[in-house]
Structure 1
Amino acid sequence: MATMLDVVMTIHTIFAALWTGGTLLVAGTVLPAARRDLLGGEALALIGRRFSYLTIVSVLLLLFTGGHLAGTLYTAESLQSTGRGHLVLTMVGLWLVLPIVLYGGFRQLTGLPPEQSAATAATEARPWFLTASVVSIALLIVAGLL
């Protein structure tokens, strides 16, 4: 029978994977397609809006599940004095950076003015999503080290 810790860890892992994978997917496939005019403005805005919903849900779930895991598995002293604790704190820092960077990208993709093309919006969002991709990969590396 699964314990509460197992359930929380599973939820945490699933949404972390969805969020980081989605970030890499948007940066690696959606934006390049939009920059080549293979996606219209409405499609790009829809994808950006849907991914922003996933981001909001993931941020909240990761906050609660991560807080539960940290409170269950670590003490304040072990977070500050052990290698695993430092990795957890690094993950929290990266977790705080990722939604901020993604918000900058979402602002470029959603609410496109009629005169702006999807290619222009994708080009403007590209640096934000590339930065978010680097943060996502760093999060995955830290998670693997944990």
Structure 2
Amino acid sequence: MKNRKKEVLEEKFNWWITFIPDKIFALEEKLPENLKDKLDFSVASLEILEKYLLENYTLEGMMQDEEMWDYCASYIGYTYKKNIFKAEWHIDLNDKNNIFYNMPCLHIPNLMSFVPHSYVTALLSKKENNLLSSTVKNHINLQ
């Protein structure tokens, strides 16, 4: 039974990755027209998204809008992977005590994992400009 549950979670994870482009499209549809063209998967585009989220969402509001949270995490993760070539999608389905258990993350050898969903909530919790972009820049320099 445990193995079947793990297989189901792995399948859901693979589907999540497969549908990232659709989620990014959905994010673009939810954003104001003047932002759509600025989301070009560059590190600078993360600053634009951060600014928009800080001006328009609270942590509580984002947690209630799970679709938007997932759309943002998809864009952030895709952008991270595009700019950090060694990054690979990963999910921990073995250690239930891991704070990021069953959460999509990007792993780079010898670096801690980057968990896009948690960065969305950290951004809104800390209300810190350039949290995402500075993290990605630091990881680019470390790879």
Higher relative contact order (CA 8 A, sep 6+): 1
TM-score (norm: length of structure 2):
0.36
Larger relative helix fraction = 1
Q: Please report the TM-score for the alignment, with normalisation by the length of structure 1.
A: 0.35
Q: Computing the radius of gyration over CA atoms, which structure comes out larger, 1 or 2?
A: 1
